[in-house]
């Protein structure tokens, strides 16, 4: 079974000095283009690839030339993080998904639901091994029920009651 990827786009971008510089200067299209090229390089033989970006603060055209990568931009009031957590909760085959983000809430959600995850910094360091056809990601973490943050989920459920 091929691994699917759900990627926090700007979270990856801000972990790279060059891309982060472009984002701070407002060269968002250039930053997004490089993020998507990195994704294509690091996971060329994946199943589904979904990259989610915050769209609230930026005005730009949807990138073209990235067939096989589903690109989602958030719209007010949702953030990219909201969309990623929502997608994770809706997946029926969660164990076949790799989440790429360094955001603590996204990682906690991925862990608690049983998805694999890799931090953005490690994703940027990963290299695709073209001979074996496998991505060499050394710090991929897998769900461990002992790691479930009970207090986090209790707080989330309490919030849901008051809405």
Q: What is the CATH number of the domain that holds 97?
A: 3.40.50
To the question of pTM greater than 0.85 for the whole model, the response is no
75: containing domain = 4-162
Residue 2: pLDDT band (50, 70, 90) is: confident
Q: How many domains does the chain have?
A: 1
Would the pLDDT of 41 be above 80? yes
CA torsion 2-46-73-95 (nearest 10°) is 30
* DSSP helix/strand/coil, 45: coil
Residues in the chain: 163
pLDDT confidence of residue 163: 45
Looking at residues 78-90, what average pLDDT do you find? 94
Q: Which residues pair with 116 in a beta bridge?
A: 98
Contact status, residue 122 vs residue 102, Cβ threshold 8 Å: no
Question: What does each C-alpha distance from 15 to 8, 22, 101, 138, 149 come to in angstroms?
Answer: 11, 12, 10, 17, 25
Token digits of residue 1: 């079974």
């Amino acid at each position: 079974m091929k691994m699917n990827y759900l990627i926090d786009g700007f979270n990856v971008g801000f972990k790279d000095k060059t891309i982060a510089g472009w984002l701070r200067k407002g060269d968002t299209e250039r930053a997004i283009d490089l993020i998507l090229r990195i994704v294509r390089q690091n996971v060329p033989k994946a199943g589904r690839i979904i990259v989610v970006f915050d769209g609230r603060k930026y005005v730009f055209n949807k990138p073209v030339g990235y067939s096989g990568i589903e690109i989602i931009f958030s719209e007010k009031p949702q953030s990219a993080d909201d969309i990623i957590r929502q997608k994770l909760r809706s997946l029926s085959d969660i164990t076949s998904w790799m989440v790429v983000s360094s955001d603590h809430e996204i990682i906690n959600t991925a862990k608690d639901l049983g998805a694999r995850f890799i931090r953005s910094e490690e994703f940027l360091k990963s290299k695709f091994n073209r001979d074996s056809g496998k991505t060499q990601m050394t710090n991929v973490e897998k769900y461990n029920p002992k790691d479930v943050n009970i207090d986090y989920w209790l707080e989330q459920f309490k919030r849901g009651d008051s809405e």
